[in-house]
C-alpha cells in the first residue's frame, strides 16, 4: 500500500508521518468481531480497513 502511495506522490517517500496519517484518515472504520476475547478494540481491529483507492488518491493530492 505504501509503495502505491509513494509511486503516486514521490514527495511522500520517506515521510512516514504523512504516509501514516493518510492511511489512518482514509481507512474505513472496523468493528470488534463478536466474541473477541483478546485485547481491546484497537488491538483487535487496528485503525480500520485500508481503502487503497482513497489512500492513493489522497497521496496524489498532497
Per residue in 19-34, pLDDT (tens digit) is 999 999 999 887 776 7
Q: What is the distance between the alpha carbons of residues 59 and 7, in angstroms, rounded to a whole number? A: 9
What local confidence, expressed as pLDDT, does residue 42 receive?
Answer: 53
Q: How far is CA 61 from CA 6, 20, 22, 39, 58, in A?
A: 12, 15, 11, 36, 5
Residues of the chain short of pLDDT 70, as ranges, are 33, 36-45
What local confidence, expressed as pLDDT, does residue 48 receive?
Answer: 83
What local confidence, expressed as pLDDT, does residue 62 receive?
Answer: 73
Q: pTM to 2 decimals?
A: 0.76
Burial of 23 per CB tally in 10 Å (0-12, 13-18, 19+): buried
Amino acid at each position: 500500500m505504501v509503495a502505491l502511495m509513494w509511486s503516486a506522490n514521490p514527495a511522500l517517500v520517506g515521510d512516514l508521518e504523512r504516509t501514516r496519517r493518510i492511511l489512518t484518515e482514509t481507512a474505513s472504520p472496523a468493528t470488534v468481531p463478536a466474541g473477541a476475547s483478546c485485547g481491546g478494540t484497537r488491538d483487535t481491529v487496528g485503525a480500520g480497513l485500508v481503502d487503497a483507492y482513497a489512500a492513493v488518491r489522497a497521496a496524489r493530492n498532497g
